[in-house]
Structure 1
Amino acid sequence: MYEQITKNQHYIPQFYLRNFSDNKSSVGMYILNKKRFAPEASIKKNFSEDFLYGKDNVMENNLMKLEGIWSEIISNILINNETEKIGTDYRELSYRDKNYLLMFIAVSASRTLAKANYTNDQIDGLYKSILQNEPSFEKYKDSIDDFMVKFSIPNWIPIEAAKKTFMYFIDLHLVVLNNYKNCGFISSDAPVIKYDNWLYKHGYKHNIGLTTKGLQIFLPISRNKCLYLYDSQIYKLRGHNMEIKGCEDDKQKIEKIFYINLENQEDIEVINRLTIKNAEKFLVIHNQKDYENCKALIEHENNGSVSKGKGFAIHKLSAGEILQFSDPNVKEHLELPFCSIIDNSLEQESIDPNMMNNEELERIFPKFIDKFMSITRS
């Protein structure tokens, strides 16, 4: 059967962007490096790249099929309880829909242009580190920065991995945060925010993974709603005494996803701060009014720079080299007013390879391996 070849391939799904739009064809877009707001940026023409997922359209078509499933699930979440104090305080999801929703979160983090760039940085760094130690390459070392090793489809491996590794955070509790304040949730070209308030409060400054204790994941899905996954062994939601659990029905394989109303403006602002800090080049803002309401916050948090460093680094030790692969995530501690920490204990020596010389790194690296296991969810 003939399938249309799509040149303009969106790394932020169009159905997702339409949730932040009144007319479903345009959305407010803030350009970070220009510090400029475009109130009616075309959804069709933005947040996309030509043939980002390949010219054969195999990955693009697969994503489009999944987007049909994801769109229906998220639309149902948005329809329920869309008006303040009206509707039920939970949404029933089948296990199938819950798994597809978690897959959507994982794939959304893996399909972006920022992820493509970091993946290329990593493969480029890896190959060049091998070439640097290859005797036959000695005469070409001075020109090693004149070329870059790239994947033809850099998002392919991350996306395929995401379709399976979302199961690593299936133990996190999922709620929907409701926002009915003047300033709506904003999103970005890197919409999925991985955070760990527990670790960062203790001075931890490294990347976090899907199995890290205290993991929190935020994904705004409209100006009024944000998906929030959190480690319930570490956090509890403030002002909500009920036990936020899946409330599983074994016979029907149904899980209840609770809606939590955020009562304070500072709750909204801290999530928007995370969004701004996590963004690569663009913010997604519902309309001019929302922009005016959060303009001061954007200007305060945005320094106009889109550079977040490389996704690859080499640390030379006497016994060899440590190759460091990393993706960007917000690494500073921000107070989250809507949740509190249950378990505040952590015996963890802060280890940041980028802030150490080689002697310090060599001394402390064995401890890092031992400590890594202590901050991994079982």
Structure 2
Amino acid sequence: MTTEKKNQHYIPKFYLRYFAYKGREQIGIHNTQSGYTFSTAKLKKQGSKNFFYGNDGVIEEHLGKLESKLALVIKRIRDNHLLPKKNSKDYVTLLHFIALTHLRNPVAMQQELDANKQKREKVAELYPYHETKQLIPEITNIEAISASLLSVSYLVRNLLDLECKILINKTKKGFITSDLPVVRYNQFLEERKWPHGKSGFGKIGLQIFIPLSHELCLILYDSAIYKVGNRKEERIVIDDVNDIDQLNMLQFTNCFQTVFFSDKVTEDYIQYLKRRSVPYQKANIVNSTTKRAFVNGDVAKEKIIILSTITDNQIKLNTKAIKVHAQGKKKVLSTSLAQYRAWPEFLNKNKDQMLKEVLNL
């Protein structure tokens, strides 16, 4: 059967309305690939694709039910500028909103597809006389987005140790958002010039930014590393334009191809942000490489491993509101390629049990 809901949103419609105006029916858009900017686009056509979640409507219907719960919690945060108590039911719902918004979009799907394609290409190079599809089957668009969505519960568990605060914009330049509004960053590992992955959900020094309107932005962060405003303050006022510029640039370097903005943001400001973000690499690009591994140091038992990595957001973030605190500066990194926080490291050691819970086995 084919669902009647042809236009399926990968960015929750209730979320995009936070940046809309004129009866919440219009929104500003800028396409980073074509350079096209239009400040009065129709909201209902944004952040969506025809049958993005498939023709049967199963995933679309499930996500629609979840959105009604997510929307209530996010609305209360926006209206009252108050966060739910940590680890409360509403707080966990907030984390689900962040995880789902991060995963249910073309970027997540494209990452799955690119990783699959690159692995198949590497296998074809290494084993030219084998049928590649037998070793690594090709996946479809629906399989890619389904695989991405399977990790929601595990991601939420990884976020439970992070602190959360609200950034309140008091400048004349509003926050913008994008078709991938959840930005992962790691100021700490970037400053340490860490050469490996920096923005995984379990990494030391992780920061997550997600704007909720032209004047509000959530930040989740590793409190063992950072100080965000005063320790006891839940709401942090930002009155420095340069801080807002930097946080907005992250939407340009993070997005798939579109940034969104309200009537509080001018087209000239969008062009300014685009120019400032040009020198920095695009985040979320998949790169696959082959590595040689040796079993117990035995060359005769060497194995080929295909590693897929994703480019990090790196714009040399340096704001007045967010700083590495004294204890963070003293943090000694391990020799491991993956620098985990304590809680995600515990989860990783027990990942088999966690996976069974996620898959309800």
TM-score of the superposed pair, with normalisation by structure 1: 0.78
Give the 3 Å change call, closer, same or farther, for CA 216–153 of structure 1 in structure 2: same
Q: Is residue 248 of structure 2 the alignment partner of residue 272 of structure 1?
A: yes
Give the 3 Å change call, closer, same or farther, for CA 331–316 of structure 1 in structure 2: farther
Q: Is residue 263 of structure 2 the alignment partner of residue 287 of structure 1?
A: yes
Number of the residue aligned with 1:100: 93
Give the 3 Å change call, closer, same or farther, for CA 311–96 of structure 1 in structure 2: farther
Question: Which deviations, in whole Å up to 9, do the C-alpha atoms of 1:197-255 show, x marking residues without a partner?
Answer: 000001124332111111100001111111100111101124x2x435xxxxxxxxxxx
Correspondence 1:42-53 to 2 at 5 A: 42-53=42-53
Correspondence 1:1-378 to 2 at 5 A: 5-23=4-22, 24-81=24-81, 90-93=82-85, 95-134=88-127, 136-137=129-130, 149-207=139-197, 208-238=199-229, 240=230, 242-243=231-232, 258-287=234-263, 289-302=265-278, 309-315=285-291, 319-342=302-325, 343-345=328-330, 347=332, 370-372=335-337, 374-378=339-343
Partners of 2:107 and 2:256 within 8 A in 1: yes
Q: Which residue identity is paired with 1:261? A: V
Question: Which deviations, in whole Å up to 9, do the C-alpha atoms of 1:83-133 show, x marking residues without a partner?
Answer: xxxxxxx44458111101101101111111111111111122233444444
Deviation at 1:65, TM superposition (A): 0.8
Question: Which deviations, in whole Å up to 9, do the C-alpha atoms of 1:32-75 show, x marking residues without a partner?
Answer: 12222111222211221121111111111111111111111111
Q: Which residue identity is paired with 2:319? A: L
- Give, in whole Å, the separation in 2 of the partners of 1:223 and 1:121: 33
Question: Which deviations, in whole Å up to 9, do the C-alpha atoms of 1:10-42 show, x marking residues without a partner?
Answer: 111111111001131221001112222111222
Partners of 2:203 and 2:338 within 8 A in 1: no
- Give, in whole Å, the separation in 2 of the partners of 1:127 and 1:186: 37
Partners of 1:189 and 1:279 within 8 A in 2: yes
- Give, in whole Å, the separation in 2 of the partners of 1:182 and 1:129: 50
Deviation at 1:196, TM superposition (A): 0.8
Give the count of matched residue pairs: 328
- Give, in whole Å, the separation in 2 of the partners of 1:186 and 1:16: 12
Alignment partner of 1:153: what SS?
A: helix
Unaligned runs of 5+ in 2: 294-298, 344-361
- Give, in whole Å, the separation in 1 of the partners of 2:339 and 2:107: 30
Q: Which residue identity is paired with 1:282? A: T
Unaligned runs of 5+ in 1: 82-89, 142-146, 245-257, 349-367
Give the 3 Å change call, closer, same or farther, for CA 47–302 of structure 1 in structure 2: farther
Deviation at 1:324, TM superposition (A): 1.8
